[in-house]
Structure 1
Amino acid sequence: MQVNRVIVLVLDSLGIGALPDASKYGDEGSNTLKHIADNVSGFYLPNLHNLGLGNIVNFKGLEALEDPLGYYGKMMEQSPGKDTTTGHWELAGNVLDRPFPVYPEGFPSELIEQFENQIGKKTLGNYPASGTAIIKELGKEHEDTGYPIVYTSADSVFQIAAHEEIIPPQKLYDICEIARELLTGEHGVGRVIARPFVGKFPDYTRTENRRDFSLAPPEGNMLDLIKEQGYDVVGIGKVKDIYANKGLTETYPTKSNADGIDKTTELLNENNQGLIMTNLVDFDMLYGHRNDPEGYYKALFEFDNSLPNILASLNDDDILIITADHGCDPLHPGTDHTREYVPILIYNHKLENPTSIGTRSSFADMGQTITDLLNVGATAHGSSFKDQLNFR
């Protein structure tokens, strides 16, 4: 079958069980999906179930089906790390040989001094923290001094928080651009993140004006290959930020999962060809990191309810892929990402007798398969499972 379009929906952080090396990351026993299912009442995801999710995980509420609608499997991360950038880059065919740097003790003083000199003001913070906690801790001092708040986490991130009335979002973005240019080489963090907030002390609220400034991924991933052949490469949600706008022909920011789903569905009904890739970040940002299994499940249920409309919007020569980029188990100790397998579900109206594609040794298998399906060349990493897909 000639494939016209591939649609990838990344359910950000929907891990399905600890990887064999999870102990290196302190993530033994993590399982984002199962722990959510075990800790909410009435767990039910009928459309994901019908696509074959229960054939991957097979537990109460998601049992295996004899005749799922889609091909199914799980993928393990080959790159070291468990962050958004690493996961997405590998999905597209870039496997890292070393992790992005992290700063459990904060950033080196000489680096902070250089940053302060370039932005023309001092900074506050410079330690690992929850984003909502640190603005309560330092928000008043920030308002009094005008100094931006710098912090990090277990991920490779340099985060800068500022009240929108003290440092307006565009000025904050300019400051982040300075940080991004500074943070290269040995200090090449995966992302610099602008974290604007509003409100009065101590009742601050982070706004939707967050923006990520990522390193550019290496050449030759699936986005580059598809774009080079003249196809559309559409990024919805955080995709533009994650890939530093590289390899994309169109981008659409989103305010929520629902907004991302709506934009995806709208684009499915337009005349485009190539790749549509959507990141649904609410699972991770609003529920995984905040240890909220009930909220996470509600978001999953809402996504599941949207699937019939998405499937109905597909053309016969479209392929839908649903996957994730890492775990973020809301029941695991701490608030960080977790090193887990991710699911992969593949659907097309004309699939014949869908079955398992097995356990893939790298997320890069997805990117390799997409370039194979679109006949645009091969990425440097990953093994295609195109030949395992049968169509009527």
Structure 2
Amino acid sequence: MARAKRVFLIVLDSMGIGEMPDAARWGDEGSHTVKACWDTGELRVPNLQKLGLFNIEGIGCGEGVASPLAAFGRMQEASAGKDTTIGHWEIAGIISPRPLPTYPDGFPPGVIAEFERRTGRKTLCNRPYSGTQVLLDYGREQVETGALIVYTSADSVFQIAAHEEIVPVEELYEHCRTARGLLTGEHGVGRVIARPFVGTYPDYRRTANRHDFSLEPPANTFLNDLQRAGLATIGVGKIYDIFAGNGISSAQRTVDNDDGMQKTLAHAREEWNGLCFVNLVDFDMVYGHRNNVAGYTEALNRVDGQLGELMALLRQDDVLMITADHGCDPATPSTDHSREYTPLLIYGRGVRPGVDLHTQPTFADIGKTAADLLGVRANTSGESLAPLICG
């Protein structure tokens, strides 16, 4: 029998809670995203605190509460990676034994030459680069020549930037589809990302028309199992892109965290049965990668207030699950993701409050648990935590 009719699974993108045991191997020793925010003295997250965020094993910051409202624990990533795609795939039940390819020296000449041949446009940059700095350094040349700015990062991404007045958005998307078709096998990057921008030099700015073209998940996910059971699988934010639409019955893109939470609140007021899977990307994209500790802290404060609104809307048979997909400590010199534990908070009237889940060995337990709560047996990696939190 289903324990819940609706599950809201919210990923606070990059909200890590401390380095994993192998963090040094990834260059992330000492990373702790939440503590970086706590150390500002400005973190105000009463709802996350009441749920049990600071009661989580090993978190080492904040103040725990005597009676947490949620079941709480920390999740260890079993996959070889620390990026968005692999993190979400693992949440959904796929453990990746090998990291997706990255290109610290840029993409091979043969890949770039074939991309230029297929698109009919030259390329600029082809190096790891900050998404804002690349516009300052190459934006004017892109506008003058029509060449495409191709760049990457420490993540497994092939990013293409172009001015919307020079390369219309739909054409840029088509160039991304071309790259996606090219980048398979050995060069199968996790995401090809369209990065359109507008403005005049030096005041270029990226627009909300970003679009991710992801690899298809390599195996079954809990989303597929929920769909086969006839349940809704609603994606809010980057979820549709991360899974290349696989297993998603309906989706809404968002322009920022506020938009994502407003769309989630709207879904809470509607009638449906199944899963609402939400990604709030600003923590990572706007603040973590830009080493903006104050901005990250304020964004957490704002979302915490909106989580309070969502909790008030939850029905008798609703469950709220809050987690993250990796870290991105804004206080370290690195601007890249960090190999960190992530939190898991599970709240609802049918969930036993205050259950300490300690440290779980894989993010895959999250999707397995969500499916179990909805009465579906997921054919994925991971173990359901439902027997520990229900009853």
Q: TM-score range by the shorter chain?
A: over 0.9
Following superposition of structure 1 onto structure 2, how do residues 305-384 of structure 1 map, counting pairs within 5 Å?
305-384=305-384
Offset at residue 3 of structure 1 (A): 1.3
Following superposition of structure 1 onto structure 2, how do residues 221-300 of structure 1 map, counting pairs within 5 Å?
221-300=221-300
Contact 1:367–1:379 at 8 Å: present in 2 too? no
Q: Distance in 1 between matches of 2:383 and 2:271?
A: 30
Structure 2 residue identity aligned to 1:127: R
Offset at residue 202 of structure 1 (A): 1.5
Q: 1:14 is matched with which residue? A: 15
TM-score (norm 2): 0.97
Structure 1: gaps (5+ residues):
none
Offset at residue 352 of structure 1 (A): 3.2
Structure 2 residue identity aligned to 1:10: V
Q: 1:186 is matched with which residue? A: 186
Structure 1 residue identity aligned to 2:3: Q
1:218-252 CA distance string (max 9 Å, x none): 23211000001111000000001000011011101
Q: Distance in 1 between matches of 2:353 and 2:310?
A: 21
RMSD over equivalenced CA pairs, Å? 1.2
Q: 1:123 is matched with which residue? A: 123
Contact 1:75–1:341 at 8 Å: present in 2 too? yes
Q: 3-state DSSP class of the match of 1:131?
A: coil
Aligned residues: 389
Q: Distance in 1 between matches of 2:64 and 2:210?
A: 39
Q: Distance in 2 between matches of 1:238 and 1:170?
A: 18
Q: 2:38 is matched with which residue? A: 37
Contact 1:353–1:390 at 8 Å: present in 2 too? no
TM-score (norm 1): 0.97
Offset at residue 368 of structure 1 (A): 1.2
Q: 2:102 is matched with which residue? A: 102
Q: 2:87 is matched with which residue? A: 87
Q: 1:209 is matched with which residue? A: 209
Following superposition of structure 1 onto structure 2, how do residues 142-157 of structure 1 map, counting pairs within 5 Å?
142-157=142-157
Contact 1:45–1:304 at 8 Å: present in 2 too? yes
1:145-193 CA distance string (max 9 Å, x none): 1001000000000000001111111110010000001100000000000
Q: 2:27 is matched with which residue? A: 26
User: Does 200-209 or 375-384 show the bigger shift?
Assistant: 375-384
Q: 3-state DSSP class of the match of 1:297?
A: helix
Q: 1:75 is matched with which residue? A: 75
Offset at residue 85 of structure 1 (A): 0.4
Q: Distance in 2 between matches of 1:262 and 1:47?
A: 17
Percent identity, aligned pairs only, is 51
Structure 2 residue identity aligned to 1:37: W
1:286-324 CA distance string (max 9 Å, x none): 100010110001100001111221011111111100000
Contact 1:368–1:384 at 8 Å: present in 2 too? yes
